[in-house]
Structure 1
Amino acid sequence: MLASIRRKLGQLKANTSGNATLLVALGVPALIGGSGLAVDTAQWYMWKRELQFAVDQAALAGAWARSDSDTASTYSARAQTEYAANVAAVTSIDTTPNVSLADYNGGDNNSVVVSASAARRLPFSAFLTGRTTTVTAYAQATFSEGESYTACLIATDEDDSGAVTIGGNASLTAACGIAALSTSDSSITINGQPTLDPGWVVSAGGIDSWIEEHTDAEIHEYMNGLSDPFAALTTPTPSPNPAQSYACVPGSTTTTGDRRTRTDTIYTYWKGSNTSNATQLATYAGTGFLANATGTWGAWSYNISLPANTVDGTTNVDGAPTWTQVSGSGSKKVYRKRVYKTYSEHANTVTVTTQEGATLNQGTYTGGFDVRCTTVLNPGVYVINGGRVKITGQYQVTGSGVLFILKNGAYIDIAGGSNITLTGASSGQLQQIGGLSAAQADQFDGMLVFEDRASDGTNNRNSFNGNSSTILNGKIYLPKSDVTFNGTAGITSACLLIAARNITLGGTTNMSTFCPSGMEHDDEVSTGRATVKLVA
């Protein structure tokens, strides 16, 4: 048997006819199988690419939604919408994507996971396996919410060293934030041993290591995206804008009250050669005698102006006498003297003494002004065209609803001990009194001092040296000038914010709050940029 098989194989080997047919017959199954596998593999690859791209985009969309608190709850819907927008070939064979949250790299639900699959029977693979082919795709995207920062002290210079300098024994415990836009490695510096609790300190440059070593403040240095919150503001022009000047009006004393009067007629008798040497007679009943006559009280006059310092009660004054000879001759002449005596009764008297003072109104003050007496600033926009506004310690200054515009190098200097209350103008006041448009008035709402960007600016001439009687409510913006702050300031109706080219807090600074209770700063130096990254 085996010998027969060997013989047949030998004959087949020796036969040279029909080789091509045999090879083709043997190769056809492999050719057909390879072609079928290629077609199916191309299908799988297309499904996989489309599914993977769709779940990648869905995961990113869901992560972006989660990174914003306003849209966080919509992440699943956003992911599914994005998935649907990126599938085409697998639309009829894919599953609804599964969208969920997952922990990533130690975080808690800080990523969005999306998975999907597509399944279909393909001719060749189904013939070989007897099963439907399923392709799956998975994607994971992490997210982090962007952080926004406000600040009560903002240095706007972009490259100065010591843009914010805190010196001596300054005390700043307001926990309202310090920001510097300077990219200098020493943008915020400490000179001395201050007491600090600023809450957070942010800078486009470096921050003195003293702050990290001696406080619990959040430190964020070399940050990108910091900006001047008032950079878009343009200098307003009030309307009307008359030329104005400063003048003190002398003080005065005025008295008002009620008054009624009566007039009595009084007769006396005198004896002598003339009225100059006559002596009064104790009694007289002779020729020409007239009896005294008592008048009647007139009606009350109410709330009338009275001589200064008049008090309640009755006073009298004698009129000029009239002399009449009634008898005798020579040294025995007798004279009758008549006097009208007027009585005044006063009631409800009020005496008001006013100090020397000045009342100012909206307009342009060329050269500025130095406060020289008690001063009231009526609501409005005060354009200081060069010079200064200097407020010294002995005078009271009040102004509610005011906005100072500093032009041509003008600056403001508030000396220690001043009894000052200044409050920035509201949007409504800026529209009604200042004549600003509604849009611009809204931008300047609460602004107390604004420096024109075309101004020359000043170095260390803007100065605030306050005490417990200094009340500053509003925003102070000096983009071209430096400012020095010493002492303290009270806050009663609006947050105090100081934004200047450079800021120096002197050794006597003592600020524990920049906002009244229940209020907080809302002008952001960083709006926060969310980060999203595809990690799987």
Structure 2
Amino acid sequence: MLKAFKKLWNDDRGNALILFGASLPLLVGAAGIATDTIQWTLWKRQLQRAADSGAIAGVYTRLNTDTEAAVRAAVNADLAINNHVGIALQSGFPAVTLPADDGDKEKQVRVVLQLSKALPFSSMFMEAAPNIVATATAASVPGGDQYCVIGLDKSASVTGVEISGSTFLDLGNCSLIANSKHKDKAASNGTSGNGQAGSGSYVKAASLAASGGVQYSNNWKVSDYDPNSPPADDPFAGVPSPTSCSKTVTISANANQGYPYDRTVAGGDVAGETVCLVGGGNGQNANTVAVKGAIKLQTGVTYVLNGQNLSMTDTSASLTCGGCTIAMTNFTNPANTGNIKITGGTVNLTAPTTGTYKGIAIYQDRLASDSGQKAQNHINGNSGQSITGAIYIPGRSILYNGGGNYVADSTVEGACMMLVAKRVEFGGNSKVKALDECETAGLPAPKAGKRVRLVA
């Protein structure tokens, strides 16, 4: 028997099988751990993406409805779409909190998700399945854009900024934004949404943004298209409408003076005064200040059109105002504020750099009734047009056809102008300087637009 065991001991046949059997537990263990690790990692990644998406959705909701209930509802709705783990969250999750603003990080939303799921191999050695936790914090943070054009209308059924026809628009380092929430064309190239649209126009801008969808064009030099952006603030929201005038001046013909005529409206006007302009006489519309001939307004005065329209249609007419504001309102019924129709002649306006209407060349009452139509206000320009300052029409739409025979990327000097209206449509030719080049013109200091980003 002993001899037989010695012979077996010295026999090397089958040693690979013996070694394989000895190492099999190690191989099975390594494969089991590897499989479980991959599954845990996948769940963790899916859970983190769900938390990230939920936090971002929460911030967008805070920007419009800043209540905890609304934010929680938004997070839950987003998770129903974007949580692909396929495992129920543990009780008490998602945990949603609204941290206080922290420097530039505003409207913060923190979302914590947690789940637990046993895995085949690991469960043989663990008393309980480990928790998988994902935390995400998003906030509204400053972007790099400064908006020279703002469409304030937040409706989901309108186009807030439209660039159509053969428009030439050069904003340089400035940007355009529509606060409209229209899902497809809050900011529009005027035709279809494909990249070949806008072929008849030229646009140069740092970005074209909107709270809703943005149409783009491969024919434009727009660095970034930013749909689903936070709405831009109204930079003149605190500027009041005038409520009275210190004197009244009639812009009309009389028996001895027919149109066209030249006149400097300066008779006794004093800087700091608020002067009402009225039209009428000699067959003219009493509700319209019609500019014919050359009208020059006195520097430093606020000129009010109380329930009056502003009209200039003659190609030989001109309206000049250095360092003053034309303010349109209606003292007794702001809804009936007049409109602007400048389709001929030359406009040369410069806003004041101090006072209540600092930086505003044309002001229209924010309570003016809105018909919902395009081009309630209409300003055409020619090569001699110059508006330095803001055109502020927060309650109605405007069609701005600009002025100046610019060519693409030309060195022609742009205007220090800002256009803020409920809805904006562009045509014609316009070249505008960036706001950081225009602080001496009284315009607001550049304020970067907002972006929703993950911050933790």
TM above 0.5, yes or no, is: no
Judging by fraction of residues, say which structure has more strand: 1
**TM-score, normalised on structure 1?**
0.38
